[in-house]
Structure formats: C-alpha cells, structure tokens
Chain A
Amino acid sequence: MTTKTTKPDTYAIAWRLPLIVWQGLFFVGPLLFMVAMSFFLVKNYRMEVALQFSNWQRMLSKDFFWDAYFFTLWLALLATIITSLVAFPASYFLAFKASERLRRWAIFFLIIPFFTSYLVRIFAWQVILAQSGVINAGLSYLGLGPWQMLNTQFGTMVGYLVLCLPLAVILQTFSLANIDKRLVEAAHNLGCGRLRTVFTVVVPLAKTGLIVAAVFCFILSFGDFVSPYYLGGSKPPTLSIMIVDTSKSGQQWPRAAVVAIMMIVTLLVVAFTAIGFAYRKRGK
C-alpha cells in the first residue's frame, strides 16, 4: 500500500518568496535592528553595541520629548478632524447628488494630485503662503495683511490637508456611494428629515469607510516630515523633525530610534483601535 504524501507546493512558495524576502530584508530586519539600536550607546560620535536603557530613560523623562509627542498627536488629530469634516460634504455631494459622469470625473481629478510628488506640491504651497506670496499679494491689494501663514501651525495644517484631502474624499465617496439608497428613503418615509437622515442613517451606514479614511489621515499626518518642516517652520518640532534633529546632532541614532519606536507604537494602537471600532458589530 502506498500512502500519498503531500508534496510541498513549490509553485505557491516560489511566487510568495520574493515578497517574503523583500519584507524580511527591508521591513522586519530594519525594524528589529532599530529596536536593538535603541539600546546601543554612542561614544565619541560612534555607536557601540550595548544593552542599556539609558536612551529610553533619557528620552522618556524629558519634557521636550513629551511636548513634541503631544504636539504631534494634537496636530495629527486636528488634521484628521478637519480633513474628515471638510471632505464629508464634498463626498456626500459626489455620492448622492452628482451624476455618474460627474462622479467619474471628480474621482479622476482627485487622483491627479498623486501624479506629482508631495514634496513638489509643498514647495508650490510655500510660494502661495509666503509673506510676499500669492495670497498676501492679493490681500495687500485689498488693503489687508500681510498675514504670517508660512512657518506657523496654520501652514503645517494646510500641508496636511494637501496630503490627506484627496484620499479622504475618494475613500469617503466610495463608502457613501455603496449605501443602499432604499435605507435613506426608508428614513424619510418614517418621518426623518434630510439633514437628520445624514446623521442618523447615512453616517452609521458608512461608518467603516469614514473611519478608514480618518485613519489614513491620521497615519499620513502623524508621520509626515515635509509639511511641519517646510510650511510649519519646524517650531515647535514634531516627532519626525525630532528624529532628524537627534540623529544629526551628535550621531544620536539610538535616541532617534526611541522616538521612532514610540511613533510606531502610537500608530499601531490608534490604527488597531480605530479599525476595531470601524468593524465592531453592535450588540452581542
């Protein structure tokens, strides 16, 4: 009697191998190295392998770290809220009021910004927001201004919106367009007015998509370096700016690793909590 042995599926493994190798080489490997590095020491501008908690102690006991941490958290939350609120009416219009044709064109134009590098777009905004820039030129023509917009939190926020808004509108539009229109009609039929229906029926139905869009906004702006640096003037610093500063000044790579790990942990916690909430089934 012969027993059939299951051959390892070489075909499937061969296809997956590149991805596994890539992820191992360029994601898991560096991540583990970074965790290890956060316990290294720096002496005479050179890193030495060690297992010391001094970097962690030093960073987490300093006010400047926690100030930057909560400042970054606050900026990212604000950007998430503003983006979600600004995007929603536009997405609502595209999903419910616009014709199929208009919706297609709008999605197309929302994708166009991704054709150019984010950095290039932010440089363009520098020109627009500068003291002698386009907006202030217009304002002074009206006898107003100039207003300081560049190198302020306002500037950072503009950058975050440039980064997040197109994506947020696209994600929100898709989730709203997927809503069963009969449920909206059923709400009207049961005496629920138009605006009230938006909050009592439309938002709960599109909940998952709306939260996913918000999570993307948070992740993108929490980790962003470009906007706070070029539009926000890096003062006060965000965590991404702090990583650059720390690693440059005195080769403190281990301390920069501590900041990076704190950022990754924060993003993981926020993303998991939000996605869990998005897909939470009500009741038992």
Chain B
Amino acid sequence: MAEPLVVFDNVVKRFGTFEAVKRMNFEIREGEFLAFMGPSGCGKTTTLRMLAGLEQPTEGDIRLAGKSLLDVKPHERDTPMVWQSLALFPFLNARENVEFGLKMRGMDKPARRRKALDWLERLGIGEFAERDVNSLSGGQRQRVALARALVTEPKILLLDEPLSALDAHLVIRMQGVLTKLQRELGITFVYVTHSQSEAFAMADRVVIMSKGEIAQIGSARDIYRTPASRFVAEFVGRNNIFAGTVNAAGNVETPAGTFTLDGKARPGDKVSFVVAADVVSLSVTKPAAPNVFTAQLISEEFVGSMVTLFFEAPGDTEVKVQVQERSLEGIPREPGQTLFLSFDPSHAHILKG
C-alpha cells in the first residue's frame, strides 16, 4: 500500500511545561476527509498548526508525502488553511483575497484574475468579487476564505472550525458545499471541530481527542457503535451507558435491570457497556425479548423525521431512544408514561477502562 499522505510520528508539543499535544501517532490517507473532534482546549488547533508549520513540534516528526516537514518553513509548505476567524485580508477585496496565494506563486495578473473569478463563481459568490470583504455576510466571507485556500489547488486543505461562526441553517448548507467540493476535487481535507454533528456528517474518519491525546480514530459508525472508552461514549452523547457487576450467570446487574451480553462479560467483573440510542426498541406491552427494562418518558426532541425520546430508568439511569417518528404510531407519548425498552445483546458494547 502506498505511503499515507501525512504521518505524525511521536509528535509532542509543549508550551513551556504545559503539554498541549502528548505523543501523537496517526496517519492521514490521501483523499480522505479526516475530522478532529474534541472539547475546547484539547489540542486540535495546535495539531493543525503543526501541520501548517505555524507551530514547531517539541518532539517527533511530521512527514508529508514521505518527506519530513521539520525544516520546511510555513510559506514553503503547500498546506493552506481556512481559519476559525477566517483571517481575510481587510485591505483587499474578495477577488484580491483569493488571488493572494496565486500572486505569491508568481502567476501573471490576467491568469490569476481569471482563476480567482472562476473559484468565486464556483462557490456561488461571483457577483461579490469586487466587494470589500467586510461588507459581505458571514456565509459569503466563508466562501471567500474557502476559495482563497483552494485556488492554488493544494493536495491537502486544513480547516479550523470554519463553520463555528455561522447560523445553524448556514452550517448545514456549508457542510453540503464542503463535502461536495471534497468529493469533486479529491483533495484531502483535515477538519477540526468541536461539533459532533459536523464531524459525523462529513468525515470519512474521525479522530476523537481528549487533553492532548487521541482517544479514538475511526469511522463515525465505529465511534458511535463501539466507543473505545467511557470518555468517547459520553462525548458522542447519543449513547446509553450502563454500569454494573457481572453475576455468577454472566449477566450484568445494573440499577436499571439485569442484562445478558451473550457471555461477553466475566463473572465478578465491574463493567460498563454502551447501547446506541437507535438500537433500543420501544413497546407498550412487555415483549418476548432479552434485555427488557421499564423506563419513564421525560421528554422528546425532533430533528427532521427523527425523534429522540428521553427516558429515566430505575437508579436515575438516563436512556435515549432515537427512532423514526412514524414508527411510533400506537405508542402513547405523554411525559410520565412508562414503557418497555429492550435491546439485543449483540448491540451492547463493553467499554474498556
């Protein structure tokens, strides 16, 4: 198999004595959409800045296409970035901002002008080419920043929370724009965000970070169904976490009920396991299935045609159930209603640590 596009090899970054990034090892594959996700301050931006050369690793090596980047100056790297603050040049208009990178590469005036206009057109803001960037709306400025980074046709594009300043409906629109662009161009996208929905909606693989360390790398599905740790399970949020002790029969005794995990647990152990919100079934009468427990409906929340129901099971256990709205026909949904919940043992994933 070909060498991955980017390799982080034992990279450590310290600011003084504070370790912002702790011994990171990972690879970025050519053409993938990789998202870094984690709470604020966990080192996402620092990681991205090291890739762009704006921060030098304290230890370790970063390789791009097999070559070490340690001695390559930021302006000699072809790793354009879309900034959280956008960092558009206020003294240039939209077109001149987009032309900036081309000008630095020595492209002649008519050619770079044409190219900049093409890109602005492609991103749907051609009519604003000669406008002052400060007079554009958030979404338009976002597109200018994207065009400015993409106009030089890089192999890799870095994005640092680019959508965090936009309204919710614009975020969804821009997500569509970004995924479409990434597919069409085949460029590797490295996307930093603290938003789970952004990461999961767009990325091929997601890197979950916590306090300068990688907590898990995997597809959205992997992370959702089989989180590597309690931290990941809680961070992802759409999981139900049960904790208890395994009895002699190999079943887990939790405050919410006693569950069988198909022999995945050893008697005597204390275990936590997760069950994704979308694999829990609901019924009014007790079903003939394993792992049935009762819970009281607290509230519900709609996102499109999906509805998330929030329950409370015995022992203050919060349980979320995510289903298609139309599958709920015939099920009473007043708050306080007690329902039967169940899940298949194969859907339980035991957490390590």
Contact = CB atoms under 8 A, between A and B. Distances in A.
Interface of A: 180, 182-183, 185-194, 196-197, 201, 204-205, 207, 281-283
A182 B91 contact: no
Given A182-B87, A201-B89, A283-B93, A189 B52 contact: yes
A242 B149 CA distance: 59
B138 interface: no
Given A186-B83, A187-B89, A191-B104, 6 more contacts: A185-B87, A187-B100, A190-B100, A190-B104, A191-B75, A205-B90
B131 A283 contact: yes
Contact of B104 (A192, A281, A283): A192
Given A207-B91, A282-B91, A188 B130 contact: no
A188 B280 CA distance: 51
Contacts of B91: 204-205, 207, 282
A204 to B, nearest CB: 4
B58 interface: no
20 contacts: A180-B85, A182-B87, A183-B87, A183-B89, A187-B75, A188-B75, A189-B52, A190-B75, A190-B80, A190-B101, A190-B149, A191-B76, A191-B152, A192-B104, A194-B75, A196-B104, A204-B89, A281-B132, A282-B91, A282-B132
Interface in B92-112: 92-93, 100-101, 104-105
B79 interface: yes
Contact of A180 (B54, B73, B87, B92): B87
A187 to B, nearest CB: 8
Q: How large is the interface on B (under 10, 10 to 19, 20 to 34, 35 or more residues)?
A: 20 to 34
A182 B75 contact: no
B31 to A, nearest CB: 22
Contacts, number: 67
7 A-B pairs with least C-beta separation: A191-B104, A186-B87, A190-B101, A188-B74, A204-B91, A188-B75, A182-B87
Given A190-B80, A192-B104, A193-B75, A185 B54 contact: yes
A interface, by DSSP: helix, strand, loop or mixed?
Answer: helix
B148 interface: yes
Contacts of B79: 189
Contacts of B37: none
Interface centre among B76, B90, B148 (most CB of A within 10 A): B90
A252 to B, nearest CB: 50
Interface in B227-271: none
Nearest to B87: A186
Contacts of B85: 180, 182
Interface of B: 52-54, 73-76, 78-81, 83, 85, 87, 89-93, 100-101, 104-105, 130-132, 148-149, 152
Contacts of B101: 190-191
Contacts of A188: 53-54, 73-75
Contacts of A191: 75-76, 78, 101, 104-105, 152
Given A201-B89, A204-B91, A207-B91, A189 B54 contact: yes
Nearest to B134: A281
A182 B83 contact: yes
A191 B75 CA distance: 4
A192 B105 CA distance: 9
Interface centre among A185, A205, A207, A281 (most CB of B within 10 A): A185
Contacts of B83: 182, 186
A188 B101 CA distance: 10
B74 A189 contact: yes
A107 B76 CA distance: 35
Contacts of A205: 90-91
A283 B91 CA distance: 9
Contacts of B53: 188
A35 B73 CA distance: 62
A152 B234 CA distance: 79
A283 B105 CA distance: 25
A283 B54 contact: no
